[in-house]
Amino acid sequence: MMPLLFGKSGEEFEVTTIQGGRGFLKKLMEMGIYPGIKVRIILNVGNGPIIIGLHDTRIALGKGMAAKIIVRKLH
């Protein structure tokens, strides 16, 4: 397992844990990010936000947010 921050463009992950306070967890839940959901990194070029794909939606996450989302790599 690793933080989503270190994933590369095109890789798929399952969210296992989200680290943070209730406000942060609520914000991610409202965005559709919670333990068990599968996400795909659309773009992570090292600086700037990480673009992830959830179902048919794309979401931009800051590096700090992505560092608190712990994932397990799929395939």
Nearest by Cα to 69 from 26, 25, 9: 25
pTM of the model: 0.92
Q: What pLDDT is recorded for position 46?
A: 79
Which residues have a Cβ under 8 Å from the Cβ of 60 and sit 6 or more positions away?
49, 50, 51
Q: What pLDDT is recorded for position 59?
A: 96
Q: What pLDDT is recorded for position 74?
A: 95
Q: Residue 75: pLDDT above 90?
A: no
Which residues have a Cβ under 8 Å from the Cβ of 2 and sit 6 or more positions away?
70, 71, 73
Buried b (16+ CB within 10 A) or exposed e, 54-63: eeeeebebee
Report pLDDT digits (tens) over 34-72.
999 999 999 999 788 999 999 899 999 999 999 999 999
